[in-house]
Every structure is written in C-alpha cells, then in structure tokens.
C-alpha cells in the first residue's frame, strides 16, 4: 500500500502532515490499540493554516496565500527557525519542500514525498519524526 499523500496534507509552511507522528497516530488509531498518542488530522483539515507560522503571519490568517513561498518575505524568520530545527533533528527542510512545490508543482512534490517516505516493507508512510512505519512497525535506519 502506498501512502495517500495529498495536497490537503501539505501545510502552508511546507510540512507534509502525512509523515507527522501525530497524523500517523490518528490515521492508524493508536489509542484504540492501547497506545498513548497525540492525534492530529493535519493543519489544513483543522483550519490551522500553519500551526507554527500562522500566529505571526497576517497573510495566512487572512487566507491571502496557500503556501509560504507566495509571500514576499519568504522565508521569514519564523519559518527559518522552524526549518533549522527540522533540518537538524529530522533531516527534512520545509523551505526545500516549499521551493520544490513552487518550482516543480504539487503533484511532483507529492510523488517525491511518496518515494522518499514509503516503507520498503509494506508501502505505508514512514514517520519523519521517528523513522517508524505505524503500519508494520518497521524502523528506518536512515532517520537521524
């Protein structure tokens, strides 16, 4: 099974919610299996626009942009800080994600994400935060 990445799972900041631990816990209903887990259905589905950047961004709050790259201040200080943490902890760049969407389109980005974050054992999504496949429990050694 291939992960069902779609545009609605891509937050304005460039985060692919489909590879987030809270989204994957929700998608695999870990609580019903007796596992303590934080659930999230994704920024767009929760109308959060971007949980980390929106609080300080009038364009996102007023629905004037879909993605942060559409802003004249891209990448803003808040996005750079968030990106720096993700680069260091998870080897993932939201700024690079946004540049890929801007330069190649959302479909190409989603295909790239599916290729990069699909479990080689079962094909489900691998979590960017911990390298785990929540479907078959495989742990990817490439996670940093």
Two structure tokens written together for 51: 């949980």
**pLDDT tens digits, 62-121:** 889 999 999 999 999 989 999 999 999 999 999 999 999 999 999 999 999 999 999 999
If one compares 55 and 38, the residue with the highest pLDDT of the two is: 38
- Alpha-carbon gap, residue 26 to 144, rounded angstroms: 23
- Alpha-carbon gap, residue 6 to 18, rounded angstroms: 8
pTM for this one?
A: 0.88
Q: How confident is the model at residue 2 (pLDDT cuts 50, 70, 90)?
A: low
How open is the CA angle 73-94-70, to the nearest 5 degrees? Answer: 35
Residues 6+ apart with CB under 8 A from 69: 98, 99, 101, 102
What length does the chain have?
144
Asked if 41 and 51 count as a contact pair (C-beta separation under 8 A), the reply is: no
């Amino acid at each position: 099974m291939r992960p069902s990445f779609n545009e609605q799972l891509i937050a304005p900041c460039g985060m692919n919610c489909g590879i987030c631990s809270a989204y994957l816990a929700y998608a695999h209903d870990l609580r019903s299996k007796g596992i303590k887990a934080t659930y999230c259905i994704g920024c767009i589905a929760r109308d959060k626009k971007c949980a980390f950047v929106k609080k300080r961004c009038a364009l996102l709050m007023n629905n004037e942009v879909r993605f942060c790259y559409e802003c004249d201040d891209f990448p803003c200080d808040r996005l750079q800080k968030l990106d720096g943490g993700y680069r260091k902890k998870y080897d993932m760049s939201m700024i690079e994600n946004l540049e890929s969407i801007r330069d190649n389109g959302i479909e190409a980005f989603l295909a790239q994400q599916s290729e990069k974050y699909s479990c080689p054992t079962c094909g489900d999504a691998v979590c960017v935060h911990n390298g785990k496949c929540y479907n078959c429990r495989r742990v990817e050694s490439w996670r940093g």
